[in-house]
Amino acid sequence: MRLDKFLGDHNIGTRKQIKEYVKNGRCSVNGAPVLKSDVHINENTDEISFDGIVLTYSKNHYYMLNKPVGVVSATTDKKQETVIDLLKDENVKGLSPCGRLDIDTEGLLLLTDDGELIHRLLSPKKHVDKTYEVHIAHELSDNDVRRLEEGLDIGDRNDDGSKKLTLPAKVTYKEDMKTDDEGNPVILLSIHEGRFHQVKRMLEAVGNEVLFLKRLSMGALFLDPDLEPGEYRELTDDEKCSLDIK
């Protein structure tokens, strides 16, 4: 890889700026100053330093975002702020949201340029669990819970026209939050599909209404409770390992 591309991938600056930085002696390779930005390096074995800070190379990038309400899960949008816009201080080239959250839903969203991982997490065949904190209009009856957990009709149809029931889900309750500040019941709902407005439609199918929705986990990845809405961070090594990222 060329040195200027390596530095560009670390969001050091434009290629023109990087050329000037390197010319001024701000970069070294394996401890030796380098004055030309077009030299080739081995990004996997060479030690690259910029202003005395060692830069590590990663083929792919992984960010955990606590998506806020009012932001769309897209790479570009002409009218609304996107989740990519929230990472404007990072090198966002090639990043995509892994799945989507509705504009009025907040919570865990993985942003990455690892297409294989996105496919693996979103493939219907993988049945990756997603858990949501759901604030609802009124208490669920035992029958409501049974229907949600066994699978129910939310209006989708199979190719032959038959009803396409939701796959079995799981309803639990937060130990520290049975109701929210307004007194509305709070449940945890775990599903492993990704149909359009699925959680909202499931609660509507049992005569209820979703008042607030927040995704807490996706597979082995859990939302960092220290992240406020709109904040993000890179995944830790342990989190990457949990997702089987090599």
> Which residues are tagged catalytic?
102
Contact yes or no for 99/192 (Cβ under 8 A): no
CA-CA distance, 223 to 72, in Å (whole number)? Answer: 18
Residue linked to tokens 């865990």: 108
Residue linked to tokens 């992240």: 227
The one-letter code for the residue type at 76 is T
Which helix or strand (DSSP H or E) is residue 134 part of? strand 130-136
- Give SS3 for 133: strand
Contact yes or no for 167/127 (Cβ under 8 A): yes
Contacts 24+ apart (CB under 8 A), 160-168: 166/191, 166/193, 166/195, 166/198, 166/202, 167/127, 167/191, 167/192, 167/193
